[in-house]
Amino acid sequence: MKRRNFLKACLIGGTTIALGKTNKGWASGSFEGYPEAMGVLVDTTRCIGCRSCEAACNKEQKLPEPDTSFDDPSVFEHERRPTSKAYTVVNRYQKEQPSGPVYRKVQCNHCNEPACLTSCFVNAYTKTQEGAVIYNSKVCVGCRNCMIACPFNVPGYDYDSATNPIVKKCILCYDTRLKYGKPPACVEICPQEALTFGHRADLIKLAHERIRATPERYVDHVYGEKEVGGTSWLYLAPVGFDKLGFDTTLSNDPIISNVKDFLGMVPMVLSIWPALFSGIHLLCKHEEQDGHGHDTDSNQEDTKP
């Protein structure tokens, strides 16, 4: 690619991004997810820590064999985070609590206004109308902004392939199940029905109804209803959420609201920085494609010089 072409790509890339961003609701709280979005209600009082959900996720997403079997309880000795090899993990908390330990499943929460999405300047992320936050590895430049932006510390990074780095995270089984109205694999396998699949709006009502019907069983809060602008995964808990590894300091505003003012002050950052990066990205992709034929991805075709 010539230098002139590179700069042209930067400009086009920058424009596309500037336009793209306005659709994503930069204004605080302007977008409340899709009204028909689906979600999952996790009732931690029902979970028995069997890790069947982890096994089901592993098979559904064709992830590599785990390092240790899915019924090895020794994994509970450490708090785990989702990785590129495990999109969901179950952790154990509150061992000393009289009614026994509390288990909590962790995965991408599929935010209504995803910070990963807003932080990504090549639009690799999409919030689908079904509620899933999915990811397109073909346009990803591997900058890892999303990993830093995610308030729940979710996206994992596949370091195995240095030439084509890929961010990996739970996609709510979008391609294989959600698209067809089916529940994700983890929900289907859960023996305790600790996971309830349904319309997000219905799940919120359901969660509050469970608290109302059995107030001795739950703390009066549905985690994810309002946090960072709301998430598609919602949680009920028997003890304070801070005791189960939840970040209870998150505001109810979407993450983007926190940086919006700052970004407004320095529009140069917005216009030059992403453009530069996407230029570099296109340059790389271009080189790659020369040898391997053309990528059919539309996002790339649009900006191809």
Partner 1 sequence: MSSYKHLIVAALSIGAISVSSPAALQCAPVPDSITLNPNGKLFSPFTFNHAKHIQSIKECADCHHHTTGTLVLDPNCARCHQNSSPTAVVSCKGCHSATPFSPETLAAKRADKQRYHLDKMGLKGAMHQNCIGCHTKVGNGPTGCQDCHPRTQQGAAFYSTNRKGAKPAHAEEE
- Residue placing its CB nearer to partner 1 in the complex, 53 or 228: 53
Of the listed pieces 6-14, 31-39, 106-114, 297-305, which binds ligand SF4 according to CB under 6 A?
Answer: 106-114
Please name the amino acid found at residue 19.
Answer: L
Could you list the beta-strand ranges (E) of the chain. Answer: 38-43, 89-93, 102-106, 125-127, 133-135, 156-158, 166-168, 195-199, 233-236
Beta bridge partners of 199: 38
Per-residue x/- track, 108-147, ligand SF4 (CB under 6 A): xxxx--xxx----------------x--------------
Return the residue of 22, 67, 163, 249 that touches partner 1, per CB under 8 A.
67
Member of 192, 271, 289, 299 binding ligand SF4 (CB under 6 A)? 192
Candidates 17, 25, 33, 52: give the one binding ligand SF4 (CB under 6 A). 52
Among 90, 140, 171, 234, binds ligand SF4 (CB under 6 A): 90
Determine which residue in the list 17, 37, 38, 47 makes contact with ligand SF4, applying CB under 6 A: 47
Q: Which stretch binds ligand SF4 (CB under 6 A): 76-84, 173-181, 187-195, 291-299?
A: 187-195
Q: Is 98 in the site for partner 1 (CB under 8 A)?
A: no
Among 30, 153, 160, 180, binds partner 1 (CB under 8 A): 180
Closest by CA position to 53, among listed 196, 154, 157, 158: 196
Q: How far is CA 85 from the centre of its chain?
A: 15
3-state per-residue secondary structure call for 147-173: HHHCCCCCCEEECCCCCCCEEECCCCC
The one among 15, 182, 248, 251 contacting partner 1 by CB under 8 A: 182
Q: In the complex with ligand SF4, which residue's Cβ is closer, 151 or 279? A: 151
Residues whose CB falls within 8 Å of the CB of residue 149, separated by 6 or more in sequence, listed in order: 115, 116, 118, 119, 255
Rule CB under 8 A: choose which of 196, 231, 232, 257 binds partner 1.
196
Residue reference for tokens 């598609």:
232
Distances (CA, A) of 87 to 23, 50, 104, 158, 253: 28, 16, 14, 12, 26
Could you tell me if 263 and 22 are in contact, meaning their C-beta atoms sit under 8 angstroms apart? no
Q: Is 172 in the site for ligand SF4 (CB under 6 A)?
A: no
| Alpha-carbon gap, residue 228 to 235, rounded angstroms | 14
Which range, of 8-16, 75-83, 189-197, 246-254, touches ligand SF4 by CB under 6 A?
189-197
* Rounded-to-integer distance, Cα 150 and Cα 7, Å: 31
Residue corresponding to tokens 């809060």: 221
| Residue 110: DSSP 8-state | -
What is the binding site for partner 1 (CB under 8 A)? 46, 48, 50, 52, 55, 58-59, 65-72, 74-75, 77-78, 80, 83, 85-86, 100, 180-183, 187-188, 190-193, 196-199, 202, 205-206, 209-210, 213
